[in-house]
């Protein structure tokens, strides 16, 4: 055997040894990743839910009844539920009015008069829910069934759960036998899910007496961040970006595809447009809860100055930007069309943003169809009011967690119409809602934990009572 053959043989042997070692190392690494993944999945499932015995209360039974009334919108038949709510108020000696904005489109209004004028508190929620096909649900969507301490049904979180908490708090004041210091208003509205034309917008235009003397409002929109069944941050929503939906038309699909590609840089961007004062405050308040991003959030102006804004997650970047999103292209009798959503900062002039979009798509032979309904600018609610302080203080005590502001980037509520009227509207989750439950909003298996819901009933009763009777 020559020296060359011996060298070649030795090299092949070393290569085989290296390959064997590499396989063993990779196998061990894969096994470790699998074990880590399984452990992580187990941790997630542990956080998702720990079954507990269910304790029934009158409020739980009321929520079940409410869920069983199908108020899907479309088609938008809220009247049976409006009659049910009015009946619950009547049983407790409260006169309620059903406001019918159109056939079968019912809202409910009731008021407890206080000693003082001009400091009223509005408890508002919407009666309608998004449609729910039964496919994929483990419990029928309008059954209100309870399984392992979770109450299933369309509307449990959006928005009938809050509605029952408000109803219970309102009735508790009425049955207390004392006249409150300030007005308390209960309002359950139709048509929130499809634009509020037959709900809040109609009421504000045709029945301004409903909000007469109202200074504050409690509505949907807040968040409860949770870890292992414990609230870690209670967010009170004080503002949202405003959405304008327009339809862009073009003779061909290719033209719209080119327009869409041109808009992609505005979907989610690296740099901010503007940091609003309320957003700066939000970042500062949530910074202690964000280990990975604390140094960026606690001083957002410095973060921008050193060029690190892009390090923040997309959700944080969005609330400092004017964003765009597009829906699928479809063919119609008039050609091709593509709905476009403009997510505008609340103080933006919507017509200016539409004009910007018109210029962006014009070079591709596309145009904006008319009409559209712009809304804005919409002021945010102040976090420096006595009522916000009351909400934050009571939430901190009830859920043993820091409470502060929240600002929404992609969703809106009827609070936008109230804020334009000068009402300080605050969005809350009355009860804890974890990440997994929040993912079921507008989806399958919408549900809430019964024990969490019961905490919310107690919390909101305390808030309303303290405000109504404070001197």
Q: What is the domain count for the chain?
A: 2
Report pLDDT for 387. 98
Residues 184 and 62 in one domain: yes
Q: Strand runs (DSSP E) across 50-181, as ranges?
A: 97-102, 105-112, 116-126, 146-147, 150-152
Residues 68 and 197 in one domain: yes
Residues 201 and 273 in one domain: no
In whole numbers, what is the pLDDT of the chain averaged over residues?
91
**Residue 269: CATH number of its domain:** 3.30.70
Report pLDDT for 34. 47
Domain for residue 27, yes or no? Answer: no
In sign, the C-alpha dihedral spanning 218, 220, 225, 231 is positive
Question: 353, 368, 383: which is the final residue of a domain?
Answer: 368
The mean pLDDT of 174-180, rounded to a whole number, is: 95
Ramachandran class of 155: left when φ > 0, alpha when ψ lies in -120 to 50, beta otherwise:
left
Domain range for residue 457?
Answer: 58-221+413-469
Residue whose structure tokens are 């009321």: 62
pLDDT digits (tens, 9 = 90+) for 206-229: 999 999 999 999 999 999 999 989
Radius of gyration of the chain (CA): 27
Phi then psi dihedrals of residue 182, to 5 deg: -140, 160
Residues 68 and 181 in one domain: yes
Q: Packing angle between helix 350-362 and helix 253-263, nearest 10 degrees?
A: 120
Domain for residue 373, yes or no? Answer: no
**Residue 189: CATH number of its domain:** 3.40.630.10
pLDDT digits (tens, 9 = 90+) for 319-341: 999 999 999 999 988 899 999 99
Report pLDDT for 80. 98
Residues 77 and 204 in one domain: yes
Burial of 311 (0-12, 13-18, 19+ CB in 10 A): middle
Domain for residue 462, yes or no? Answer: yes
Domain for residue 159, yes or no? Answer: yes
pLDDT digits (tens, 9 = 90+) for 391-431: 999 999 999 999 999 999 989 999 999 999 999 999 999 99
Residues 424 and 317 in one domain: no
Domain for residue 7, yes or no? Answer: no
CA pair distance 178, 116, nearest whole angstrom:
14
Q: Packing angle between helix 161-175 and helix 79-91, nearest 10 degrees?
A: 30
Domain for residue 394, yes or no? Answer: no
Domain for residue 173, yes or no? Answer: yes
Question: 313, 340, 368: which is the final residue of a domain?
Answer: 368
Residues 158 and 294 in one domain: no
One DSSP character per residue, 118-156 reads: EEEEEEEEE--B----STT-SS-TTS--EETTEEE-TTI
Domain for residue 119, yes or no? Answer: yes
Residues 310 and 206 in one domain: no
pLDDT digits (tens, 9 = 90+) for 16-52: 655 554 545 555 554 544 454 444 344 434 444 567 8
Quick check: pTM over 0.75?
Answer: yes
Report pLDDT for 372. 75
């Amino acid at each position: 055997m020559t020296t060359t053959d011996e060298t070649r043989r030795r090299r092949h042997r070393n290569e085989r040894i290296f390959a064997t070692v590499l396989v063993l190392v990779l196998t061990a690494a894969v096994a470790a990743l699998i074990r880590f993944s399984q452990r992580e999945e187990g941790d997630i499932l542990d956080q998702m839910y720990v079954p507990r015995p269910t304790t029934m209360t009158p409020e739980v039974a009321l929520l079940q009844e409410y869920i069983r009334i199908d108020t899907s919108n479309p088609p938008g038949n809220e009247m049976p539920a409006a009659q049910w709510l009015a009946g619950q108020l009547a049983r407790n000696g409260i006169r309620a009015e059903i406001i019918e904005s159109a056939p079968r489109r019912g809202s409910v209004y009731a008021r407890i008069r206080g000693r003082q004028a001009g400091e009223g508190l509005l408890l508002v929620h919407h009666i309608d829910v998004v449609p729910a096909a039964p496919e994929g649900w483990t419990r029928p969507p309008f059954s209100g069934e309870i399984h392992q301490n979770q109450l299933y049904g369309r509307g449990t979180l959006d928005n009938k759960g809050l509605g029952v908490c408000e109803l219970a708090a309102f009735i508790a004041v009425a049955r207390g036998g004392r006249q409150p210091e300030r007005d308390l208003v209960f309002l359950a509205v139709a048509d929130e899910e499809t634009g509020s034309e037959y709900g809040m917008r109609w009421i504000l235009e045709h029945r301004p007496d409903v909000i007469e003397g109202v200074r504050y409002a409690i509505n949907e929109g807040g968040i409860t961040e949770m870890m292992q069944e414990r609230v870690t941050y209670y967010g009170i929503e004080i503002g949202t970006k405003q959405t304008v939906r327009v339809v862009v038309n073009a003779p061909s699909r290719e033209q719209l595809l080119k327009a869409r590609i041109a808009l992609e840089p505005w979907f989610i961007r690296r740099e901010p447009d503007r940091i609003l004062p309320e957003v700066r405050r939000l970042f500062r308040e949530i910074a202690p809860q964000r280990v990975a991003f604390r140094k960026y959030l606690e001083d957002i102006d410095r973060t921008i100055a050193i060029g690190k804004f892009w390090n923040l997650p997309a959700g944080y970047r969005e609330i400092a930007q004017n964003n765009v999103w597009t829906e699928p292209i479809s063919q119609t009798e008039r050609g091709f069309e593509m709905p476009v959503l403009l997510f505008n900062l609340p103080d933006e002039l919507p017509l200016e943003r539409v004009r910007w979009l018109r210029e962006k798509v014009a070079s591709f032979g596309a145009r904006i169809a008319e009409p559209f309904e712009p809304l804005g600018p919409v002021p945010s609610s102040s976090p420096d009011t006595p009522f916000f302080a009351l909400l934050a203080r009571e939430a901190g005590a009830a859920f043993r967690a820091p409470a502060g502001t929240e600002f929404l980037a992609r969703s809106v509520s009827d609070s936008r119409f109230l804020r334009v009227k000068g009402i300080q509207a605050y969005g809350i989750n009355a009860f804890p809602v974890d990440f997994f439950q929040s993912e079921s909003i507008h989806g399958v298996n919408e549900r809430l934990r019964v024990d969490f819901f019961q905490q919310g009933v107690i919390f909101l009763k305390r808030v309303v009572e303290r405000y109504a009777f404070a001197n």
